[in-house]
Amino acid sequence: MLTLSSEVEVLARFGRALADPIRCRLLLALSEAPAHPSDLAEALGISRTRLSNHLACLRDCGMVVAVPVGRRTRYELADPRLAHALDDVRTAVVAVETDRACADADEKGCC
């Protein structure tokens, strides 16, 4: 069973994984389907080296796993529930962002 401090550490790792736009895009791509690094790099429009660094971060955070497939490696989310969690976070953040915009944003210099 996780203690409160363990749960906080898990949430902090999840936050680190989401702290970079490329990692967010990578997680969203993997929530659609597992993929090979070359396909992910092409889909995201980034170099294989840069992708490798982000995949290493996501592996360290426990968000993705590398699955050997013959001589290649395929990446996928570490747990299918992560796809649901990512979708829930994405839709909640979009809803909050939409609700937060105020009518006087230009005048007040906010939002």
pLDDT in tens, 56-69: 999 998 899 999 99
Question: What is the value of pTM for the model shown?
Answer: 0.80
The secondary structure of the chain, three-state, reads CCCHHHHHHHHHHHHHHHCCHHHHHHHHHHHHCCECHHHHHHHHCCCHHHHHHHHHHHHHCCCEEEEEECCEEEEEECCCHHHHHHHHHHHHHHHHHHHHCCCCHHHHCCC
pLDDT value for 67: 97
